[in-house]
Amino acid sequence: MLIAIQNIGKFSLSRPAASTIGVALLLSLGVLSFDEAVRAIDFNTIVLLFGMMALVAYLSFSGFFEFVASKLMTIGNGRRLLLTIILSSSTLSALFVNDTICVFMTPIIVKLSLEAKLNPIPLLIALATSANIGSAGTIIGNPQNMLIGISSGVSFLEFAKVMVPISAICLVLNYLIVYAVYRKDFDNFKPKKIDVSFNKSLAVKTLAVFAFVLALFITEIYPIPISALIGAAIMFAIGKIPPRKALEKVDWGLLLFFCNLFIVMHAFERDYGHLLVSSISLKDLESYLYASTLTVIGSNLVSNVPFVMMMLPIVKQDGEFWYLLAMASTFAGNLTLIGSVANLIVAESASREGINLGFIEYLKVGVPLTVSTVLVGALMIYCL
């Protein structure tokens, strides 16, 4: 409730602060012991997030994201611009975590769209929704997939083999729906070239290290979290930018938030998880659709990451549910503006640039997109 409300009278609580209050209450009331709370934290996920954030920090120092965004504005017409944004956002999110892509690309897209005298709202919605859909394709695409990948033991390639085709088809729906809703805006687009600062050497170096980390993911020489940590360590050594600056870019508040969520959701699942177990059984298409709907509703009530955390012990009893949970919890983030952290990052970053992405405005795309993509995803997983 505190995470959802955030503002209580004159008190303003961030998500990390609200979750910390929850953990403090659990410990002070004796619901969990301190040792049990520590054991509830999945440090594999925390280390993986840290490693990926550090790598993305060096890419941001190079101006890579600004460079990509500037190239988007040289596209010949509005339809190609939309397609390029969706493809680049989804691809980068599958490789570098959707939240971080939205952090770095939102202010650039706002700036460049205003320079081109184009309504930034359609581009921002396309950025957020395609980042969510694209992130579903890999284990490292978003936090909930990281949780699922580590808990399930599914390999990087095995996960991608199932989820990439689903993401690809749903990105087509993403393009069609956004363009249908904002067709006039895209038809009025006029390309414009804008110069940006780009450190090619650092970008190439960081991308090479990431390619090495990706190879470690695929070959499974080391566990996925260790592979990400190796990549971060290499960049600390060869990046020629003090590690202190990269560490300042790491979202420590988000890592604290995740540690707290692990603890709170462990307590909830321990006492009430059995109620969900009894309602989920994957047998026929109807049960797949029911489980997908339950996941969409749950993900929007408590957010997708806490919902997945709560479901992990349950899913371990039914391996067929892994992909369905990854798909539905991620696509559920597109339903409303507050459905995923990526959406909120886009909205809050845009507001700092004077752009208001409203809740109702977002629903024009969010509702039809979520319904259609979750339906497609459930059908494709059922047919596996």
| Ordered DSSP codes for 173-184 | HHHHHHHHHSHH
Both tokens of 112, joined, read 């460049």
Cα-trace Rg, the chain: 20
Domain assignment of residue 126, yes or no: yes
Maximum pairwise Cα distance, the chain: 62
- List the single range of 135-139, 288-292, 303-307 with lowest mean pLDDT: 303-307
Number of domains making up the chain? 1
Mean of pLDDT values over 194-223: 89
For residue 319, pLDDT over 70 is answered with no
For residue 381, pLDDT over 80 is answered with yes
Asked if residue 134 lies in contact with residue 90, where contact means CB atoms within 8 angstroms, the answer is yes
Domain assignment of residue 84, yes or no: yes
Q: For residue 354, what pLDDT is reported?
A: 83
Both tokens of 357, joined, read 């992405």
For residue 12, pLDDT over 80 is answered with no
Distance CA 74, CA 378 (A): 37
Q: For residue 113, what pLDDT is reported?
A: 78
Mean of pLDDT values over 317-324: 75
For residue 283, pLDDT over 60 is answered with yes
State percent of the chain over pLDDT 90.
Answer: 43
C-alpha distances in angstroms, 192 versus 69, 76, 79, 195, 198? 12, 9, 15, 10, 18
Q: Which residue has the higher pLDDT, 318 or 133?
A: 133
Domain assignment of residue 6, yes or no: no
Domain assignment of residue 1, yes or no: no
Non-local CB neighbours of 268 within 8 Å, separated by 6+ positions: 310
Distance CA 331, CA 76 (A): 30
Q: What is the pLDDT of residues 28-55, one digit of tens each?
A: 999 999 999 999 898 888 898 899 889 9
**pLDDT-based confidence at residue 265 (cuts at 50, 70, 90):** confident
Mean of pLDDT values over 12-33: 90
Domain assignment of residue 2, yes or no: no
**pLDDT-based confidence at residue 4 (cuts at 50, 70, 90):** low
For residue 318, pLDDT over 70 is answered with no
Q: How many helices (H) and strands (E) does the chain have?
A: 20, 2
Domain assignment of residue 8, yes or no: no
Containing 7, the helix (H) or strand (E) segment is strand 7-8
How many residues would you count in the chain?
384
**pLDDT-based confidence at residue 195 (cuts at 50, 70, 90):** confident
Per DSSP, what are the bridge partners of residue 7? 12
Both tokens of 30, joined, read 């004796």
Q: For residue 301, what pLDDT is reported?
A: 75
C-alpha distances in angstroms, 232 versus 198, 211, 275? 21, 12, 41
Domain assignment of residue 4, yes or no: no
For residue 307, pLDDT over 70 is answered with yes
Most confident of the ranges 294-298, 361-365, 380-384: 361-365
C-alpha closest to that of 143 among 247, 219, 36, 251: 251
- List the single range of 19-33, 237-251, 268-282 with lowest mean pLDDT: 268-282
Mean of pLDDT values over 161-183: 96
Distance CA 38, CA 298 (A): 25
Q: What is the pLDDT of residues 116-153, one digit of tens each?
A: 778 899 999 999 999 999 999 999 999 899 989 888 88
Q: For residue 7, what pLDDT is reported?
A: 65
Q: For residue 75, what pLDDT is reported?
A: 76
Burial (CB < 10 A; 0-12, 13-18, 19+), residue 230, is middle
| Residue found under tokens 């489980």 | 291
Q: Which residue has the higher pLDDT, 379 or 75?
A: 379
**pLDDT-based confidence at residue 365 (cuts at 50, 70, 90):** very high
Range of the domain at 209: 13-382
**pLDDT-based confidence at residue 281 (cuts at 50, 70, 90):** low
Q: For residue 32, what pLDDT is reported?
A: 94
Mean pLDDT score of the chain: 87
Domain assignment of residue 220, yes or no: yes
